[in-house]
Structure 1
């Protein structure tokens, strides 16, 4: 096993304090959005096996089966099939969806055939893989995930009292669910920019007024549903502050607003529109860069391709809670994908150690307290919060301590 040296990504939406506080470091004032753990070529972790600090991607490339295991290589190719992150959002991320495996392969082949450079800002598909994701909250975490029922979205639009939103509310009331959602999202993203910006601005101002306090709500809205409506309008106003005039502000109102408590998680399947709003969490995903954006971004939005990928159906976000394995204390976040498997251990001082062993490579991440790792060769690593270790396939590790440890591996 090897201690990982990891890279922080300073995206503008990142928190300036959450990751430094977890790591026990002084904030610099700069955003620290994501801490990457894995072998992604964009920012691979590094390990030192005696010959100096070396990218994990190079270690794996030199001996894929030895590092990843034969089953993982056979199923997912000669690279680590997942990327693990600490994600700290202080502002909304882009509203986006990910393709399934077939859509990704088709999109990648089509862009390759057209000769679109991989580094082109108009490139949608950087690879041929899908990108399912799981986010597990370490602090209270807010996000958007999947379409809400059309009549609920219509009520939010109507409550703002903005004339420019009335046609969208009428469609959401009159059309079948899938058809209504497709028509409204298409209209929002293809409308004349200046006209839509005015509507977004007017909607954001109304949302800010309605979110300001009980006096902003009247009639039925002032009753038991008032607090929920205030939260929805406060979210709309906050997103608009970060992305003024962006049609994604209104598109976001079509989605379910999800609040996660620490330990709860959200699985993001292919075609499901989503955006993270705020909070610190452990994120794991298939090792792909394929993203189709709906809004809340200055980056390229390919509306026709987006409409091919999005699943236009109302969904329940389905908050995940870990399921305990009574045999060894491992708590598993169950998902329908094989590229990654995330689980959690709550370590108690003085308790019997847990023995980890598996046919695929693992990354172990401490998020609280302290975790002691001991390998078969008696080598020991102690992990403090935010620190992580890499375990090649087939190696056994004994874990103990007093804290919280997340385990990431592939399902093989």
Structure 2
């Protein structure tokens, strides 16, 4: 089989959207998951599509794991990709997901490869694989996130404007940051160290101190006693505090970029970039890993020392993280999101009823999810009818023709790797 349906898996984390308000739940209804029924009282956070050992996808017709099938059929991975990523065990270099976010995810980052190997060796029950996890988030509904450190001068403005934030930072660290931030190249070691000192001071503030300051901040924001510089994050601060009362992570609203994306817009986060997804439904693709270093806005284990130690402290506008789509085909129906890492790219295809689109043969394997409508996939030796929520594996070096056969637009997301 060159093209075949696979069965994804569901993760029901507390932060997921509830019942059929979640695209994860909606997609799962058609995805072939055994005995699946939507419970309108439960959250549906993530849909996993891939070969990660924690929650592997299955081949629909046989029930075996996708990794097991690919290990026996290496031609589906492709010679170049198999050689570059050593995929004899059938594991794909990427993990593809849908996320439905009702409640903010944690303040977090992902380790680079060397750090992942070290953390996995030291704490395999927490860091359950040895791979890095660069990732891309592509909005399919309006999406908000905290994304990378703000420019230094913006953080300095908040420190001057928000007394509750300034109160968390020792005077010597505060004065050094205010001295360095307006005059130093943000990539200079002195600037990075100053930012690290501020972030570390905030995130390690004793609970008695930060909860008192957070209480003052919330009272002030609720009474609308807000400076002009604070207005853009007022609702965010109040929202995070409602979701996670008395949590130090709320203060990251003044340290990280707050970004709002429309459907079709995407961001990329490399190793050591702090972030937190706040709300919305997204397509997410990453290297094949589940390693997360958390520090706030979470009931899960917080590893603040490792987070502080492994961040890049690259301060900039959020635009640095934006992935601008490129043409993928001769028509405008398919656009390519190509982040600066080798493990994956994603193509978004949108077809109006009756429209047709060709996808060139790709050297490596790909996984496709139908996010809306219904259609037909055709290739040299066969065809497959698909509907919203179904997930399809496409083997290497397989040209695909897409047809929108329903009354609604056909929307497809395809993750792939090429060597």
Q: TM-score, normalised to structure 1's length?
A: 0.86
Residue of structure 2 in register with 1:203 after alignment: 217
1:22 positional shift:
4.5
Out of 72, 81, 87, the residue aligned to residue 62 of structure 1 is 72
Equivalent-residue separation in structure 2 for 1:343 and 1:129 (angstroms): 24
User: Residue in 1 aligned with 2:318?
Assistant: 317
Structure 1 residue aligned with 2:382: 378
- Within 1, Cα distance between the matches of 2:380 and 2:163? 66
The residue aligned with 2:403 is 400
CA RMSD between the two structures: 2.4
- Are residue 411 (structure 1) and residue 414 (structure 2) matched? no
From 97, 103, 114, the counterpart of 1:91: 103
Choose the corresponding residue for 1:332, options 333, 336, 339: 336
- TM-score (normalizing by structure 2): 0.84
Q: Is the 8 A contact 2:168 2:205 kept in 1?
A: no
Is contact 1:371–1:405 with CA below 8 Å preserved after alignment? no
Q: Which residue of 1 aligns with 2:85?
A: 76
Task: Establish whether residue 118 from structure 1 lines up as the match of residue 113 from structure 2.
Answer: no
Cα 1:242/1:350, change in 2 over 3 Å: closer
Taking a change above 3 Å as real, the CA distance of residues 4 and 375 of structure 1, as seen in their structure-2 partners, is: same
Q: 1:328 to 1:257 in 2, by over 3 A?
A: same
1:3-402 equivalences under 5 Å are: 3-16=5-18, 17-19=21-23, 22-23=26-27, 28-49=40-61, 52-63=62-73, 65-78=74-87, 79-105=91-117, 107-108=118-119, 112=121, 116=122, 118-119=124-125, 123=126, 125-162=127-164, 164-165=167-168, 167=171, 170=175, 172-176=177-181, 177-210=191-224, 216-217=225-226, 221=228, 229-318=230-319, 319-327=322-330, 329=332, 330-384=334-388, 386-401=389-404, 402=409
How much has 1:95 moved relative to structure 2?
0.7
3-state SS of 2:193 partner: helix
Structure 1 pair 129–248 and aligned structure 2 pair: CA distance change class (3 A): same
Unaligned runs of 5+ in 2: 30-37, 182-190
CA 171–202 in structure 1, closer or farther in 2 if over 3 Å, else same:
farther
Q: Measure the CA separation in 1 of the matches of 2:294 and 2:22.
A: 26
Could you tell me how far apart the structure 2 residues matched to 1:102 and 1:301 are?
A: 20
Shift of 1:344: 1.2
Encode CA deviations 1:225-266: one digit per residue, 9 max, x unaligned.
Answer: 6xxx33302111211222222222113420000000110000
- How big is the shift at 1:153? 2.4
State how far apart, in whole Å, the 2-side matches of 1:326 and 1:44 are.
31
Contact 1:98 1:292 (C-alpha < 8 Å) held by counterparts: yes
Answer yes or no: is the 8 Å Cα contact 2:15–2:45 preserved in 1: yes
Structure 1 window deviating more from structure 2 (54-63 vs 261-270): it is 54-63
Q: 353-362 vs 20-29, which deviates more? A: 20-29
1:193-236: CA deviation from partner (whole Å, max 9, x where unpaired): 222222233223333333xxxxx446xx2xxx6xxx33302111
SS at match of 1:201: helix
- Supply the distance in 2 between the matched residues of 1:165 and 1:103 (Cα, whole angstroms): 29
What do residues 310-343 of structure 1 show as CA deviations (whole Å, max 9, x unaligned)?
0113122222231123535431112111111111
Change (3 A) 1:191 1:24: closer
SS of corresponding position for 1:394 = coil
Shift in Å, 1:137: 0.5
Aligned in 2, Cα 1:88/1:77: closer, same or farther, shift over 3 Å? same
Q: Across the two proteins, how many residue pairs are aligned to each other?
A: 385
- Please give the alpha-carbon distance, in whole angstroms, between the structure 2 residues aligned to 1:258 and 1:137: 12
